[in-house]
Amino acid sequence: MKRSLRINERIREPKVLVIDDKGDNLGIMATSDAVALAKERGLDLVEVASQSEPRVCKIVDYGKYHYQQAKRDRKQKHRSRLKEMKFTIKIGEHDFQTKMKRVRKFLTQGDMVRVSIFFRGREIVHASRGHDLLKRVADELSDIARVDEQPKARGKILQMLLVPNQNQKT
């Protein structure tokens, strides 16, 4: 979601709450005075909270501020990646362990993992086996992850969402 920031003369509000480059609150002042103060320091007046009343503006170097915001957005986007691992209720032990290694790797990298159990044909009659399998996955990964979404049935698919523990992220 891209939003354009209002800077200097593009801020239309008559009065704004000003925060200087050191983070100190300078109080509410006229926008023209705040812009003049920013220019005097060789910086820009940037509107950071357009929804509040009065609007909150910061005296910062716009280029640096914009770069920091973009960097934070990229980091946030990376943090919210979602991976999926698919199982069936007839999975063999070795296949299960192999998939568990992959899930563990995803979680240690900080990714969320959706674990899906697919039921084929009449296997849906044995939904309890699917729940048991998801419980086993959650138990084996309890040291590095927590269940964010409890197992839910969606048609012939049973799904659960795992997220890494806060102290596990690298």
Is 1 part of any domain? no
What's the pLDDT at 20? 87
Q: Judge if 26 and 39 occupy the same domain.
A: yes
What's the pLDDT at 170? 46
Residues 6 or more apart in contact with residue 151 via CB below 8 angstroms: 130, 131, 134, 158, 159, 160
What's the pLDDT at 100? 96
> Is the confidence at residue 25, as pLDDT, over 60?
yes
Q: What is the CATH number of the domain that holds 117?
A: 3.30.110.10
Q: What is the CATH number of the domain that holds 25?
A: 3.10.20.80
pLDDT, one tens digit per residue, over 68-121 is 888 887 777 666 688 999 999 999 999 999 999 999 999 998 889 999 999 999
Q: Judge if 161 and 89 occupy the same domain.
A: yes
Q: What CA–CA distance (Å, rounded) separates 18 from 16?
A: 6
Last residue of a domain, one of 76, 91, 114: 76
Q: Judge if 99 and 133 occupy the same domain.
A: yes
Instruction: State both tokens at 126.
Output: 């044995």
> Is the confidence at residue 54, as pLDDT, over 90?
no
What's the pLDDT at 3? 61
Q: Judge if 33 and 58 occupy the same domain.
A: yes
Is 48 part of any domain? yes
Which one has a higher pLDDT value, 60 or 76? 60
**How would you write the chain as a 3-class SS string?**
CCCCCCEHHHCCCCEEEEECCCCCEEEEEEHHHHHHHHHHCCCEEEEEECCCCCEEEEEECHHHHHHHHHHHHHHHHHHCCEEEEEEECCCCHHHHHHHHHHHHHHHHCCCEEEEEEECCHHHHHHHHHHHHHHHHHHHHCCCCEEEEEEEEEECCEEEEEEEECHHHCC
Q: What is the mean pLDDT of residues 24-52?
A: 88
> Is the confidence at residue 139, as pLDDT, over 70?
yes
Q: What is the mean pLDDT of residues 40-63?
A: 88
Q: Provide the number of structural domains found in the chain.
A: 2
121 backbone dihedrals φ, ψ, rounded to 5°:
60, -125
Q: Among candidates 45, 88, 84, which has minimal Cα distance to 65?
A: 45
Is 2 part of any domain? no
Q: What CA–CA distance (Å, rounded) separates 78 from 56?
A: 28
Is 150 part of any domain? yes
> Is the confidence at residue 169, as pLDDT, over 70?
no
- Residues 110/79, Cβ–Cβ less than 8 Å: yes
Last residue of a domain, one of 50, 76, 102: 76
Q: Judge if 128 and 69 occupy the same domain.
A: no
> Is the confidence at residue 6, as pLDDT, over 90?
no
Q: Judge if 96 and 148 occupy the same domain.
A: yes
Q: Judge if 92 and 159 occupy the same domain.
A: yes
pLDDT, one tens digit per residue, over 125-134 is 989 999 999 9
Give the domain extent around 135: 80-168
Last residue of a domain, one of 76, 94, 118: 76
> Is the confidence at residue 1, as pLDDT, over 50?
no
